[in-house]
Structure formats: structure tokens, C-alpha cells
Amino acid sequence: MNKNIIFVIILLFAFFSRFYLLGDVPAGLMNDEADKGYDAYSILLTGRDQWGEFLPLVAFKGFGDYRPPLYTYLVVPLIKIVGLNTLAVRLPSAIAGVIAIWGIFLLTKKMFNEKQAMVTASLLALSPWAIGLNRVGLEANIAIVLLVFAIYFFQLSIRKKYYFIVSILLFILIVYCYTAYIVFIPLLLITLYLSERKRINSKWKVYLLGLFLFLILVSPFILNQSNGSSVRFSQIGLTNNINSIGIINTLNDERGICLKSGFSLVCKIAYNKPFVFLTTFLANYIHHFSPSYLYVNGDNSQYAYLPQRGLELLPEIVLFIAGIVFGIYKRNKSIYILIMLLLFAPIPDSLTSNGDISRGSIMLPFLIMLEGLGLYNILNLVNTRYIYALKLSKFTLVGILFLAECLFLLNYFTYFNNYNSSFSQYGYEQLMHNVLAEQNQYYRIYISHRYNDTKQYIYYLFYSKYSPEQYQKKKNISLVIGSDGWVDVNAIGKIYFVDTISMQELNKLKDKNVLLIGNPKEFCNSVSQSQLSNIKDKVGTILFTQFKLNEYIKQAKIKDC
């Protein structure tokens, strides 16, 4: 078959797997997606973000997590075209997912050869990790495309030096796209320089100009202390996130017991924060390469993006091992670069977790290229004596990969989309449409986030298309900014977002027409007559139930609860 036809088939499959039911699968719009969408909507209508800042260049404040700005700006024209909805927010990711396949083809062709490039592009098109990410509005998808093309233009610059400027501009865009790459890009540039230092040194003026341009244009992002690189790390970094509380408590207990034994100096050396966090970082790093994480079970961070399974197809573990083996055997410089970049890629995520599907995606291009190297070499094994056995094994391997992909897609668009719907915040669209239809009937509406997501207010802004100009003024808005920078909006007009529905507080409003919305666990189980409606996930589990306050109080007293 003609190679151009094969590549078109690959792209068509990639397009289908990324765009089919894009607005409906995953089932819900996640709060980060809604936040990007509302900021883009605000920029479109007013030129300012939801906090009133004019065309932010360094970061969008958002929930207080200070997101890099690139993704939000990409959403702006799409909202103009298709409106403020889930599809508009996800389109940049899906488009980037298809472009990444073209990029990985060009890069692999440049570093190796065209046939291997075709194999690698096929694997990226099939990748569950890539498909799961590409169907959600995440900065990581844009960063992957920029990364692949940045390395590609660096490779081109070895012969045509001015391509280095293009490469540097793409690296700059990555920084303004996804904070996790701030740690990785310097390691990447050092690796690329060492691999071609003789040729680079002979053209040092252009490369020096490019690095100077990089430092100048990236410095506003790095130096601004309110950007994602500082605030975001303070919220999720290894020494700051919620898991660290348990680590530190365990450390204190171990050191306390040790000190009682009388070995004071030894205890202080053995039990200290730097040592504990170093070992935690190393454990996180190693976990990124575990077969369980990559090919079997995946991680808890993926439930909204993928079924409970490995990030890649299980049979691809054979391809990865083969890629490493063939790479070491062939002693090709490009392979060594690939392996080094794969080893550096998990470092940023290891500073925050033992495997996040989004932050860990820096690994994805290099992992796929090594798997492609393995599959290409397996398919090109030649042995005249056992040629029929080899052909049979090759067809078997390809058949197993095809079957594994079919099973994944079937599960993703059926079981996953239903049974994982609550993880993607399914139900908020229906909830907010109900609230918008009924809000004029009530004095107040209380929505509890005790058992559900705590950023509920962004769904009200998103689905009501709340006036950005009014929200920027924060008039009739009650909010709190915590010491860690997170924003908690408690009320927008008559809509109150609360930690829990306190009957003691609500008894003061029993003569008012008030609507209560919360998880069924928050209400008296025996009270049903006053219940207005339920909002369920896609398998029938009740997410929210609604009561009129005065009716609920009467029923609760009768039922003595």
C-alpha cells in the first residue's frame, strides 16, 4: 500500500478517536475546563479575565492556581465560533492530538528513518494515554505538540542554523503553556547541546542569540512571583501537598520513638525532612517506569480520563523492552538522546506525585518513540531459515495490538463513559440548568459541596454565561482567598455554595422560600415527601437531591431526624 495512503489512514483514525462525541465523552465538564472556558469567554467579551486583568500574559489567576495563558487564548476564537460549551473548550486539545502525530512522524523520520516514523505515528494514534488526554481541555496536549516540533526544528538547525530560532520560540511557548516543563526544558537543552556540541560550537553566534532570546522572553514568567511556577508548586509540591502531611507525621513519630532510645545524633541523621523527601522523590521517579503504572493499572489520577487500566496498551510493554534492547545494541546517537530525554521527563512530576496522567505526559513522546523503535525492529527481523515463523509472529503481534486497541475504545466509549462519569463532574450541567430555571422562585439557593466538588461556582458562571463585566467587579460576590492562594467563592447573588447544609443556620430562614441542594447523605434518609428532584450520574447514583427548606424542616421534625 502507498505510504501516503497509510499515513492518511493513521490520521483519519486519530481524528475519529479524538473527535468522535468529543463534547460528550468524557461525560462531564471538569472544573479546570470550565474555568478556562469562562476566562476565554470573559476575554472574548471584555478583553479581561474573570479577575479584571487586561489580557494576562504571564498567567490567569483562575482558582488561585495561576495557569499559564496559552491554552485559554486558544479557546477564545472557538467560543466565538461554536459558543461557550464543552466542545469549544476541548477542541484545542483534540486538534493538538492530531497535529502531534504529524509532528512525531517528522521528528522520528529526521532522527531515524521514514518507515520507523510511520510505525511511531501509528502507535501515538493508538495510544490510550494520548487519546485520554486529547479529549479533555488540558494544557499538556498543546505542550506535547510544541515539544515535538521544538526538538524537530532543533534537529533541522544542525544543518540550517537559523531553524534554532524557531526551535527556541517553540520552547518559549511551552513555558507559557504548561508550568511542569520549566524543570524539564533546561535538561532537554543541555542534552541536545551535548549531542551536537561540535556542530553547535561552529555556529555559536546563532545559538547564543537563541538562548539570549529564550532568557529574555521567559524571564517575565519566571520572575513574576504570582505565576504558576511558584504558587502552583506551593500548592501541589512534594513538600506542600496533602500527602506530605502524612509523611511528616510519620517522620515525627519515628524520630520521637528513636530519640527515646538515647541515640540522639543517629536519630537526627536518620529521620529528617530532606532525607525523607529525597527518598519520596526517588520512589515517585521509579514508579513512573513501573510496568504497573505504564501498562497494567495506571494511577488514581486518571479516573476522569481513562478506564482503570495502564496508560498504554498492555502488549506495548514488549515493544518498549525491545526498543531499549535494540537501542543499546545499535549504539545509535539518536537512541541515546531518546533514552536520556525519557529518563529526564518524569522529574517534574516526581516533585509533586508518583504519577499524574497530565504532568507525567512529558514522557509520552519519548516513550512512544522507543516503542516505535521496538516495533520497527521486530517487523524488520530477517531470518531466511525461519522466515514463515517470523512472519506469523509479526502478524500475531500486530493482531494483538489491534485487538487491544479495539477493546480499549469499546470500553472507553461505553463502560468508562458511564461508570466514571462522576469523576469528570458529570451532573453539573443539569444541576445548573435547573438552578437557572428556578432561581427567580427562591429567596436563596444553597448548594453544598461537602460530598461533591468544591469549585461549583465556576459551573454556575459557565452555564449561565454570567456577565463577565459584572463578575469582574465582584459585586454581590462573596469569596475568600486562603493562605495557600486558593480561591473559594461562597456566594454569587442568591446562590450560596457551602461546605455543608447546617440546619441550625437554616432554621433562621425557615420562613423564607429557600431551596436546598446537596448529596443525599446530608439529608435525613426518612424524609422523602418534600423532595423535589434528583440528579443522577450515568449509572443511576444520586449526585444531588433538592428540597424546599420549609417542607424539609416540617418532615424532619415529624420523622424526628
Question: What does the pLDDT profile of the chain (561 residues) look like in tens digits?
Answer: 688 899 999 999 999 999 999 999 999 999 999 999 999 999 999 999 999 999 999 999 999 989 999 999 999 999 999 999 999 999 999 999 999 999 999 999 999 999 999 999 999 999 999 999 999 999 999 999 999 999 999 999 988 989 999 999 999 999 999 989 999 999 999 999 999 888 888 888 888 888 899 999 988 887 764 444 455 545 455 555 545 555 666 767 677 777 777 667 777 777 777 777 888 899 999 999 999 999 999 988 899 999 999 999 999 999 999 999 998 888 888 999 999 999 999 999 999 888 899 999 999 999 999 999 999 998 887 555 566 766 777 788 889 999 999 999 999 999 999 999 999 999 999 999 999 999 999 999 999 988 877 799 999 999 999 999 999 999 899 999 887 788 999 999 999 999 887 777 778 888 889 999 998 888 877 666 667 789 999 999 999 999 998 888 887 765 556
Does a structural domain hold residue 538? yes
- Whether 174 is in a domain gets the answer no
Cα–Cα dist 397/371, whole Å: 13
Question: Cα–Cα distance between 321 and 319 in angstroms, integer?
Answer: 6
**Interatomic CA distance for residues 36 and 56, integer angstroms:** 13
| Cα gap 437→17, rounded to integer Å | 35
Q: How far is CA 192 from CA 179, 334, 338, 347, in A?
A: 21, 10, 10, 17
Q: What is the pTM of this model?
A: 0.92
DSSP 351: T
Measuring CA to CA, which residue among 185, 174, 102 is closest to residue 141?
Answer: 174
User: Which class for 31: exposed (0-12), middle (13-18), buried (19 or more C-beta within 10 A)?
Assistant: buried
Contact 54, 47 (CB under 8 A): yes
Burial class (CB in 10 A: 0-12, 13-18, 19+), 2: exposed
How many structural domains is the chain composed of? Answer: 1
Is 97 domain-assigned?
A: no
| Distance from C-alpha of 517 to C-alpha of 194, rounded to nearest angstrom | 60
Residue 2 lies inside a defined structural domain of this protein = no
In this structure, what are the phi and psi dihedrals at residue 43, rounded to the nearest 5 degrees? -65, -45
Q: CB-based contacts of 373: which residues, under 8 Å, 6+ apart?
A: 112, 116, 120, 322, 323, 326, 327, 335, 338
Q: How many other β-carbons are positioned within 10 Å of the β-carbon of residue 402?
A: 13
- DSSP letters, 492-560, are ETTEEEESS--HHHHGGGTTS-EEEEE-GGGS-TT--TTEEEEEE-TTS-EEEEEEEHHHHHHHHHHTT
| Domain annotation covers residue 554 | yes
- Please give the Cα distance from 554 to 549 (Å, whole number): 9
Residue 478 in any domain: the answer is: yes
155, 111 in Cβ contact below 8 A?
A: yes
Residue 175: Cβ-neighbour burial (10 angstroms; 0-12, 13-18, 19+):
buried
Q: Is residue 257 part of a domain?
A: no
DSSP 424: G
Angle at alpha carbon of residue 269, lines to 266 and 272, rounded to 5° = 130
Q: Which amino acid is at 532?
A: L
DSSP codes of every residue in 368-421: HHHHHHHHHHHHT---GGGHHHHHHHHHHHHHHHHHHHHHHHHHIIIIIHHHTG
Provide DSSP, 432-460: HHHHHHHGGG-SEEEEE-SSS-S-THHHH
Q: Contacts by 538-541 with C-beta closer than 8 Å and gap 24+? A: 538/27, 538/417, 538/418, 538/419, 538/421, 538/426, 539/418, 539/419, 539/421, 541/422
Residues in CB range of 171: below 8 A, 6 or more apart: 146, 150, 185, 189, 214
Grid cell in block for residue 130: 494520548
- Note whether residue 432 is domain-resident: yes
Range of the domain at 532: 424-558
Residue 93's identity, in one-letter code, is S
Tell me which residue of 302, 328, 364 sits closest to 96, measured CA to CA. Answer: 364
Q: Are strands 477-481 and 487-492 parallel, antiparallel or unpaired?
A: antiparallel
- Rounded Cα gap, residues 249 and 303, in angstroms: 28
